A = this chain, B = another copy of it.
């Protein structure tokens, strides 16, 4: 059970940042109408508002480098998973990467995959 949660968390994180770095607009497949994103303190709800925020971020290219991934089941009955990520982010090929932390609360779908119910992102200022 615990290993499976780790595996799902790791696979989700790789998939999420791969989509983010290669084609941000395709992230809409991972959010639902009930999803919430808090991005540097700004609150967004629903797949449309969340994806429009992500698509309008002021850079063309970015590359996420993951440092740590931690995952835990949220409760035995609902099958949810919380995933906590730390890493760095290189924008538009700039020299200095930015450190960030992000958490996701994933909920299983009837089709056997997961969607993002909660997403909180913060840059880590040194």
Task: Give A contacts to B, CB under 8 Å.
Answer: 2, 34, 36, 38, 41, 43, 67-68, 70, 72-76, 78, 80, 82, 84, 86, 99, 101, 103, 105, 107, 117-118, 120, 122, 124-126
Contact yes or no, B101 A122, CB < 8 A: yes
Contact yes or no, A86 B124, CB < 8 A: yes
Copies in the complex: 2
Contact yes or no, B75 A122, CB < 8 A: no
Given A36-B72, A70-B41, A101-B101, does the pair A84, B120 have CB atoms closer than 8 Å? yes
Given A41-B68, A68-B41, A82-B82, does the pair A74, B105 have CB atoms closer than 8 Å? yes
Contact yes or no, A72 B124, CB < 8 A: no
